[in-house]
Amino acid sequence: MSWWRRIANVFCADRLSREIDEELRLHIEEAIEQGRDPAEARRALGPALRLREESLNVRLITWLDSLRADAVFGWRQLMKRKVTSAAAILSLALGIGACTSAFRLVDALLLRPLPIAEPERLYALFRQGIGPDGRYRISESNEYPLFRQMRAAVKDQAELIAVSYASRTDLTYGSDGEMEKAYRQYVSGWMFSSFGLRPTLGRLLTENDDLKPGAHPYAVLSYDYWATRFGRDPKVIGRTFRIGNDLYQIVGVGPKRFTGTEPGTIIDIFLPTMMNPGVTHSDWSWFRTFVKLKPGVAAEPVRERLTAPFQAFQEERAKGFIGAPKQRVEDFLHQKLLLEPAATGVSPMKEDYRTSLAALGVLVALVLLIACANVANLMTAQAAAQAREMALRVSIGAGRRRLAQLVLVQSAGSHWWRPPSAGCLPVGPRHSSSA
Amino acid sequence: MPKPDSLQGSLDLLVLKILSRRPRLHGYAIMSAIQDMSGDVLRAEEGSLYPALHRMEEAGWIRAEWITKDTGRRARLYELTAAGKKQLAAEESRWQAVTAAVNRVLRMA
């Protein structure tokens, strides 16, 4: 018989007992019909109650039956103490709800890896040193001519990817009268293939879209932008829009979960870096540099290799600092390169909110702890009130396991009450064998 | 407490065998059949018959069905399933092996 039938049997235990009783009764009747003495026949069969229990035990899973009894009893207890139960349920719901929301925030901003291939091999390039204002700083901006030299210097060990800061820009799909806003980001054409991303529609940018300054007016939309702005219209491919004086053609839509490398900001439009006028300027710092290490390559040697072109570039630039204070030139030349893991992306929000999010996390954890303590108190009070009943149960032969099961089912019952929005359902008590 | 069973271990085998010869019997008829066929030598403990039947039903070797006889009385009839036939073959060969072994010991000693 299937498990399902057995579980169903638990809920019709009464009918089963009746059937077994009837079968035994028919046996006696048959015996009497055969001319046997009724008393003798009954004695031969044995005590009907024991037989019935024995058969019932086979046909039901005993613990399942007791579980049902406990659930019913627990429900009655809950109903008996409505206020206490409601308080317990409410405080747990609030605590868990707060924890879940806080965790979602922390996860989205700080913990979740970017939805790209091998995010653990992604690093971000920083430079640290004394800034022009005389203060120590870590900067992430880079200049494109330097970026090119750096990329060439480590091309066997790593791929360098330029990703500009997200900027909110005006654009129009029609006339100037229909201007709208969108988050735009200039990225290296090879970023998509290096991240292992596949287009939802059309094609993504490639290295060939990022060769000559101003020569590649192509754009890739992010999935979210495509869904909200165009209602997932497949005819969007080939449409054009205008930013300032530049006319861009939409060539594709990005993958569903990729919203850029900046947690907290959802990029709408990706453009090739070559479309940014900054690519020819040695003194424009306008993008972040990501380093995707090739398999089996460590970060430190790559950083060292990057240092040589960096120093040469800085010295070249320092020659232009005519009339600048000596100290400032010194500081400028003494900046160092850093490679930091960037599996979860790089975003100014991360730095700004890291401490406050940590504080929030601790706070909600405390709230949950307090809620748990509350519930524990309530449960203890209930247990004290149930002391007599427990003693009675022990005296008529309930084992420890059985009592523990009773209490667990009761508390699980109060947990199932929690609103689904408060998080996942609790796992009920599990018994591997019969109790 | 379970009473000592004269048919210890062989009740399943007997029930399966009888059901394979004569399908659709009720409990009392199975018991009588064991008695008759063994020439009154074997007598199934009536108390252990029904738990055994229910256990075998649970294991899927036999299946049961309530019917109403012409006399208006209800009866629960048992018959062998495919799994039960396999089980019977297995139990039968096991029984043969055991009795053969016991006989051998009796002859040798």
pLDDT tens by residue, B25-83: 998 899 888 888 888 777 777 888 888 888 888 888 999 998 888 888 888 999 999 99
* Residue A174 pLDDT class (50, 70, 90 cuts): confident
Q: Can you name the residues that pair with A61 across neighbouring β-strands?
A: none
ipTM of the predicted structure? 0.81
What is the pTM (predicted TM-score) of this model?
0.57
**Residue of chain B whose alpha carbon sits nearest to that of A54:** B51
Looking at the partner chain, which of B27, B29, B55 has a beta carbon nearest the beta carbon of A23? B27
Contact criterion met (CB < 8 Å) for A46 and B73: no
Q: Which of A14-23, A249-258, A366-375, B39-48 has the highest mean pLDDT?
A: A249-258
Residues of B within 8 A of A54 (CB-CB) are 51
* Residue A420 pLDDT class (50, 70, 90 cuts): very low
% of chain A at pLDDT higher than 90: 33
Helix axis angle, A387-395 to A348-385, nearest 10°: 60
* Euclidean distance between CA atoms A209 and A221, whole angstroms: 15
pLDDT at residue B4, as a whole number: 39
Token representation of residue A388: 């007599």
Residues 11-50 of B with CB under 8 A from A: 26-29, 32, 46-47, 50
CB pairs A-B closer than 8 Å: 52
How many beta carbons lie within 10 A of that of residue B25, not counting itself? Answer: 20
pLDDT at residue A193, as a whole number: 93
In the predicted model, what is the mean pLDDT of residues A131-138? Answer: 82
In the predicted model, what is the mean pLDDT of residues A298-311? Answer: 92
Residues of B within 8 A of A38 (CB-CB) are none
* Euclidean distance between CA atoms B19 and B82, whole angstroms: 12
The answer, for B69 touching chain A at a CB cutoff of 8 Å, is: no
The answer, for B74 touching chain A at a CB cutoff of 8 Å, is: yes
Residues of B within 8 A of A29 (CB-CB) are 73
Decide which of A406 and A156 is more confident: A156
Looking at the predicted structure, is the pLDDT value of residue A434 above 50? no
Q: What are phi and psi of A148, to 5 degrees?
A: -65, -45
Q: Which of B46, B57, B73, B81 to mutate to test the interface with A (most CBs of A within 10 A)?
A: B46
pLDDT at residue A399, as a whole number: 75
> Rounded to a whole number, what is the largest CA-CA distance in chain B?
58
**Residue of chain B whose alpha carbon sits nearest to that of A33:** B28
A253 and A202 in contact (C-beta within 8 Å)?
yes
Contact criterion met (CB < 8 Å) for A30 and B26: yes
Decide which of A127 and A405 is more confident: A127
pLDDT at residue A5, as a whole number: 64
% of chain A at pLDDT higher than 70: 91
Q: What are the residues whose beta carbons fall under 8 Å from the beta carbon of A228, sequence distance 6 or more?
A: none
Contact criterion met (CB < 8 Å) for B46 and A44: yes
Residues of A within 8 A of B57 (CB-CB) are 1
Q: Which region holds residue A380: left if phi is over 0, alpha if psi is between -120 and 50, else beta?
A: alpha
Q: Give exposure, A211-226, as e/b (b: 16+ Cβ within 10 Å).
A: eebeebbbbbbbbbbb
Looking at the partner chain, which of A22, A26, A55 has a beta carbon nearest the beta carbon of B51? A55
In the predicted model, what is the mean pLDDT of residues A222-239? Answer: 93
pLDDT at residue B109, as a whole number: 72
